[in-house]
């Protein structure tokens, strides 16, 4: 009987070791491909980096900038129900880009932050920064100070929206920023709202907004924090925290050539974690990566 118990224990240990080995083989980084130029995947539970690709290359980050904008606003403990206004200075700071917001109208600071995070409303970030204590320049200074405090050593901010391509960072630094942002309940809430209606005053009107992340809009993924970004020079970018098979993952992908490529990369990462293989990316995506890397590293 004692021998039988010892044999059972021996077989249990062997089974556990084989399961552990099988799981380790699933996470073979030779078996994952992403179409984005730069990728960083972290298991937040263990704080372990699961996959990195070109994660230390400095590149424009587009509207991922708005996560830092949100942290600076919230750190200042400004009243979120206080009305802020939109004027021509804000329009100029987004390079006279299109916005449905009417000049002269007002919206609460919290609502402006909400539509900036979920729908990447650029005019909202310009107005938020202008009406910061000390003004716009003080806001940009606070963004860079916050980045320094988070040890984002390869990051520079020059505007609050991300429209300026001189806003640069790395996937490794963005990972630090998103980890910090996860401690802000408002950022988690605002960035993962699928759809939202904002009510403006002076004059009274309303505008409907949708989330820029298709994975949030579709509500098929459990997304706890999200931000997308796009500029011609930055490509399509995505930073999000999501759950896959009980693991809380932080995914950062920078500079993808297609609008849905970051979503495709998220799917490839999920497939790799579940099956051990991500599947391949297209030849055109590989060609794009090669071209961009030659530009970024020269």
Selecting among 36, 38, 53, 63, the annotated active-site residue is: 63
Count of CB atoms within 10 A of residue 46's CB?
10
**Active site includes 66?**
yes
Sign of torsion over alpha carbons 174, 267, 219, 107: positive
Tokens of 108: 């609460």
Nearest Cα residue to 98 out of 130, 62, 123, 64 = 123
Q: Residue 181: which of 45, 47, 69, 58 has the closest Cα?
A: 69
Rounded distance, CA 293 to CA 25, Å?
A: 29
Cβ atoms of 268 and 251 within 8 Å: the answer is no
- 38, 119, 120, 160: which is the annotated catalytic residue? 120
Query: Which has the closest alpha carbon to 178: 257, 233, 240?
Result: 240
- Among residues 36, 38, 53, 66, which one is catalytic? 66
Active site residue 278: no
Specify which residues 240 forms β-bridges with.
226, 251
Q: Is 119 an active-site residue?
A: no
Q: Return the structure tokens found at 275.
A: 């099956």
**End-to-end alpha-carbon separation of the chain, Å?**
70
Active site (catalytic) residues: 63, 66, 120
């Amino acid at each position: 009987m004692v021998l039988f118990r010892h044999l059972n224990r021996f077989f249990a240990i062997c089974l556990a070791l084989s399961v552990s080995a099988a799981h380790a083989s699933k996470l073979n980084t030779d078996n994952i491909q992403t179409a984005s130029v730069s990728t960083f995947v972290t298991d937040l539970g263990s704080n372990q980096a699961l996959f990195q690709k070109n994660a230390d290359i400095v590149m424009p980050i587009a509207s991922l900038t708005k996560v830092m904008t949100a942290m600076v606003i919230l750190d200042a403990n400004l009243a979120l129900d206080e009305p802020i206004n939109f004027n021509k200075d804000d329009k100029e700071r987004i390079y006279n880009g299109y916005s449905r917001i009417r000049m002269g109208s007002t919206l609460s600071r919290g609502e402006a932050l909400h539509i900036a995070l979920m729908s990447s409303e650029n005019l909202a970030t310009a107005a938020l920064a202008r009406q910061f204590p000390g003004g716009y320049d003080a806001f940009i200074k606070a963004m860079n100070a916050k980045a320094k405090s988070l040890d984002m050593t390869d990051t520079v901010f020059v505007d609050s929206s991300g429209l300026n391509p001189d806003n640069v960072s790395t996937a490794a630094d963005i990972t630090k920023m998103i980890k910090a942002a996860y401690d802000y309940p408002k950022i988690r809430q605002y960035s993962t709202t699928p759809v939202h209606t904002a009510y403006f005053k002076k004059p009274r009107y309303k505008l409907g907004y949708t989330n820029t992340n298709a994975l949030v809009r579709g509500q098929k993924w459990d997304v706890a924090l999200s931000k997308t970004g796009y500029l011609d020079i930055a490509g399509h970018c995505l930073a999000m925290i999501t759950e896959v098979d009980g693991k809380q993952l932080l995914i950062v992908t920078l500079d993808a050539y297609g609008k849905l490529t970051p979503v495709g990369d998220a799917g490839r990462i999920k497939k790799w974690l579940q099956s051990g293989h991500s599947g391949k990316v297209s030849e055109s995506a590989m060609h794009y990566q090669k071209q961009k890397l030659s530009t970024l590293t020269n």
